[in-house]
Amino acid sequence: MNAGVYLHIPFCRSRCSYCDFATGMFESATAERYVAAICSEIRGWREVDQPASVDTIYFGGGTPSLLSVGQIERILSTAKDHFVMIESPEITLEINPGDGGVDADSRRETMRAWRRLGITRASFGAQTFDDRELKLLGRTHDANDVRQTFSYLRDAGFDNINFDLIAGLPGQTMEGWKRNLDEAVKLRPEHLSLYLLDVHEGTPLADQINRGMRLKPDDDLAAEMYATIIDTVCAAGYEHYEISNFCRPGFESRHNTKYWAGSPYYGFGNSAHSYDGARRRWANERDAAKYVELISRGDSPVVEHAMLSEEETRSEAIFLGLRLMRGVDLSEHRERFGRDLSTENNVELKRLIEAGLIEFDNQRLKLTSRGALLSNEVFATLA
């Protein structure tokens, strides 16, 4: 089974109001030390016995595109040197609209340089095409930056592009959300990640809502928006393959699908998580400065280890597998765990089926569209 490599780049130009990721402000000197540290971590990595075959690499963050082309090349080359790379890997770079240079010419050249490095997929956080909403979120770009960035990426030769959009923002209307979807579909990216806003305690947005400065998200409206996502995007020819992800045929995120399918993935950088594809999970130090310090001392950055039990592994296989709209293959589950999902938990299964949240279809247990919206309730019942 081929693995994926995740490379965490924790730097941002500004802190988004809804973000609870392990990120910090970009500084050139700090970024250079961090790049040296992550390359050192990759070179010293020995977490599995056999050379690992890899077919996806994912630069996430944060904003990896804040690094120079040379820094991205150093990290990518180090990863390719250390792992056995399968032919035609998917290599994703997360970017922000407007990144890549101070003017149009430099942005175009930077994107062409990314493509020459072997980056095959670009993913960027549009979040919304409404400038007022972008300011509310603390974003540094405007809607026109989204359109320009998409155009520059296409001109640079990128034929696999993802947009992130967020529904259910405070004060967002159904009409406004439909305009977002219409704009996105009109541009025809290969992939769309369409999320309902999740307000995390401790973020500026949560504080603003708690203090009455922003409207509390309307759950009923968010449910309507989710239904509109499915209707609009699928009618435009996209496949709904995961709870929040849609793609044109053949353009699923190969890397992210590894998380849901239980494939191995190896994370590098602060806060990065890893899984050996069987039982073992581990995670790096969350704080970027502490991570760099550990690497500079020659110490391991891994601060968490977990060995999953058989029951924990089975539970994860259910709720991660159900995130994919194709669902859980009952025969594969029975062969792996010796348990029959179609006969276990009869009372709970019956309740979920009657509620219209799950269904059995051709030897698969699957979420319905309504079940995808209320997936946490399903997972809590079955896992």
Can you give the pLDDT at residue 218?
66
Residue type, 145: D
pLDDT interval class at 377 (50, 70, 90): confident
Cα end-to-end span (Å), the chain: 25
Q: At what angle do helices 143-155 and 174-187 cross, to 10 degrees?
A: 20
- What does the pLDDT look like over 301-316, one tens digit per residue? 999 999 999 999 998 9
DSSP 129-183: S-HHHHHHHT-S--HHHHHHHHHHHHHTT---EEEEEEE--TT--HHHHHHHHHH
Does 379 score more than 70 pLDDT? yes
Distance CA 168, CA 177 (A): 8
Comparing 213 with 363, the larger pLDDT belongs to 363
Question: Cβ distance 11 to 60 under 8 Å?
Answer: no
Does 17 score more than 50 pLDDT? no
Distance CA 157, CA 244 (A): 26
pLDDT interval class at 19 (50, 70, 90): very low
Helix (H, G, I), strand (E, B) or coil at 231: helix
> Mean pLDDT across the stretch 36-50?
89
What domains lie within the chain, and their CATH numbers? 3-260 (3.20.20.70), 311-382 (1.10.10.920)
Comparing 181 with 134, the larger pLDDT belongs to 181
Helix (H, G, I), strand (E, B) or coil at 277: coil
Burial class of 299 by CB neighbour count within 10 A (0 to 12, 13 to 18, 19+): exposed
- What does the pLDDT look like over 203-213, one tens digit per residue? 555 565 466 55
| Residue 212 CA to its chain's centroid (Å) | 30
Residue located via tokens 């960035």: 149
Distance CA 156, CA 64 (A): 18
**Strand 53-61 relative to strand 302-307, pairing:** unpaired
Can you give the pLDDT at residue 213?
57
The angle subtended at Cα 51 by Cα 45 and Cα 54, nearest 5°, is 90
DSSP state of 81: H
Can you give the pLDDT at residue 18?
44
Residue located via tokens 């995007």: 233
Lowest mean pLDDT among 16-20, 164-168, 280-284, 379-383: 16-20
Length of the chain: 383
Can you give the pLDDT at residue 115?
97
> Mean pLDDT across the stretch 121-130?
90
pLDDT interval class at 47 (50, 70, 90): confident
Can you give the pLDDT at residue 304?
96
Helix (H, G, I), strand (E, B) or coil at 247: strand
DSSP 254-276: HHHHHHHHT--EEEESTT-EEE-
- What does the pLDDT look like over 104-119, one tens digit per residue? 888 999 999 999 999 9
Can you give the pLDDT at residue 76?
98
Q: What is the pTM of this model?
A: 0.91
DSSP 312-362: HHHHHHHHHHHHBTT-EEHHHHHHHHS--TTTTTHHHHHHHHHTTSEEE-S
- What does the pLDDT look like over 158-200, one tens digit per residue? 999 999 998 888 888 999 999 999 999 999 999 999 988 765 5
Residues 6+ apart with CB under 8 A from 57: 4, 5, 7, 76, 79, 89, 90, 91, 92, 255
pLDDT interval class at 22 (50, 70, 90): very low
Q: Phi and psi for 279 in degrees, rounded to 5?
A: -130, -25
